[in-house]
Amino acid sequence: MINSVFQTKKIKTIFLCIFVLLLFFILSNVNSTQVLAADDSFVVPRLNVDIPGLDVKDFQVTRSAQTLSVPFFAVYVIAFYKYILGIGLIASAIIVIYGGYLYLLGATGMQVQSGKEKIKEALMGLVILLGAYVIITNVNPNLVRMNTLNIPEVMTNEFILHDLSLQTSATAPSGIYADSPIVPDPEIAAVKPIVSGKCRAILAIEKELYIQNVSANVNGTDFGYRIRQAAEFFADCGINMNNCGNVAQCAWMAAGVNGTVSKNGICTPVKGAYKTVTPEIGGDLYTWAYGRRCVGGEKCLEHADAAMRGNEKRNIAPNPESAARWQSYFRSSDQCGGSMSAAIALVRDHLAGSLPNYPNDFADRLEPGDWVYIYAGNTECDGMHSMIFLGWHESKKGVAWILDGSIKQNPKIRERCLKNEGSCAGRYSPITRIMRPNFDKEGVWLGN
């Protein structure tokens, strides 16, 4: 009877040992916090001490959005912990097996006692390994998570503006901008500006003073010359300037057009600061583009709903006439494009069929500093996008240098097809309006 009870206790002890080993094995293989690398590869680390099963080439140091991501350090620590834990598990398993052997088959009481002690010691070691992890996890789970080390770049405060000869023609001086391949509208790859170094510290201040300080660093009396300098500042400083229209207005003001800037960086040129140079594109011909991208038609209905409801807080009364006009811009599926490119093609063909020598005659009117509206097929009701014309590409027919930006993208200098010639034939961005500073109006031009 006593022997049977003794054997039962032995079996229970062995099963307990096996259960604890399995528990530790499962816990040691639980996935740690996933360490993600950024998009653009920067450098592959080379470690002096390798861990079996870990290839650091899969966890490259990367650079994205002005942040250096170092994932391999976290991965290395996790792999090292699992490696050491595995060694501890194997050692404990061997000791438990050896202790179980002595416990079950020991010829003397001392051997049996020795086997029990070895099993207890091995289990105690495992409890210490597990206990430390469990306690720390309960106190603060972040203490056992190894995340990617993200190091923000330190921006230097140096700014050098290359000297440009006074240029009054619409053609950008040769060599000012680096070439980049043209890709289908509306996305065109940004190019490196002529400004070298980083934006000087005086510009990295409140947005309401940003334009003032850019303007103070722009020189010359020719508007086209000044607007190109302002564009270089905007592109190099990388400060978001809200929507595309605000980028254009702020560029004008930085180049010398009078106006005001709010605390959040909204630029408002003085009344009468601009005039249109494309009067042919107006009225119904201009609004024909509204809602031509099907998803944009939903925004037209939102405008209609807002006009019908009015806004008591802003003291805006309901306007059924305006609501009806917005609602008319909602197009049926056979009158709008389901994609950006399809919508652009609809507007491009309509304007080309309605206006003689479109778009080249209109593009030939452009001068550096002109504020240009194009139909971009975005998801807004009008589908328009605005930019500042800087000059024509010196080697690519129909390609213009432009400055633009948006709520999601900082100002950039880009290439844009505006003429129906060369590689731009059949794929140009349709111009819908060209505006120019009204230099004849008193109080508009402050660039002298």
| pLDDT at position 186 | 38
Which pLDDT belongs to residue 32? 39
The whole-angstrom separation of Cα 372 and Cα 109 is 97
Q: Cβ(293)–Cβ(263) under 8 Å?
A: no
**What's the confidence (pLDDT) of residue 69?**
72
| pLDDT value, residue 202 | 44
Cβ count near 50 (within 10 Å) = 12
- How many CA atoms, within 13 angstroms, populate the side-chain half-sphere of residue 436? 14
Helix axes 223-237, 207-216, angle to 10 degrees: 130
User: Residue 202 contacts by C-beta under 8 Å, 6 or more apart in sequence?
Assistant: 213
pLDDT score for 385:
94
Q: Tell me the C-alpha distance between 249 and 268, whole Å.
A: 7
| Residue 217 tokens, joined | 């660093």
Select from 253, 209, 202, 205 the least CA-distant residue to 227: 253
- Contact indicator for 67, 153 with CB cutoff of 8 Å: yes
| Selection from 183, 180, 181 nearest residue 191 by Cα | 180
Q: From CA 296, how far away is CA 293, in angstroms rounded?
A: 5
**Kind plus residue range of the DSSP H or E element containing 197:** strand 196-197
Q: Cα(201)–Cα(192) distance, rounded to whole angstroms?
A: 20
Question: Please, is 280 exposed, middle or buried when counting C-beta atoms within 10 Å of its C-beta (0-12, 13-18, 19+)?
Answer: middle
CA-based nearest residue to 347, from 196, 186, 167:
186
Structure tokens belonging to residue 176: 């000012």
Strands 371-375 and 259-261: unpaired
157/387 Cα distance (integer angstroms): 28
pLDDT, residue 102, reads 81
Q: Where would I find the beta strands (DSSP E) of 44-178? A: 61-64, 67-70, 149-152, 159-160
The β-bridge partners of 220 are: none
Q: Which pTM value belongs to this model?
A: 0.58
pLDDT in the model for residue 336: 94
Helix (H/G/I), strand (E/B), else coil: 3: helix
Helix 109-139 / helix 2-28 crossing angle, nearest 10 deg: 30
Q: Where are the domains of the chain?
A: 2-152, 159-293+337-437
Helix (H) or strand (E) holding 232: helix 223-237
Q: In this structure, how many other beta carbons lie within 10 angstroms of the beta carbon of residue 108? A: 9
The tokens describing 434, both together, are: 């060209």
Give the model confidence (pLDDT) of 117-176 as tens digits.
888 888 888 787 777 777 777 777 766 666 677 777 665 443 333 333 333 333 333 333
d(CA 234, CA 218): 12
Q: What is the DSSP string of 43-61?
A: E----SS--TT--GGGS-E
Segments of the chain scoring below 70 in pLDDT: 1-49, 53, 55-66, 72-73, 107, 142-147, 153-206, 447-448
Locate 340 and state its tokens.
């950006």
SS3 275: strand
CA 357 centroid distance within chain = 39
Residue 2 DSSP SS3: helix
Residue 438: Cβ-neighbour burial (10 angstroms; 0-12, 13-18, 19+)? middle
Q: How far is it, in rounded angstroms, from Cα 108 to Cα 386?
A: 94
Contact 158, 52 (CB under 8 A): no
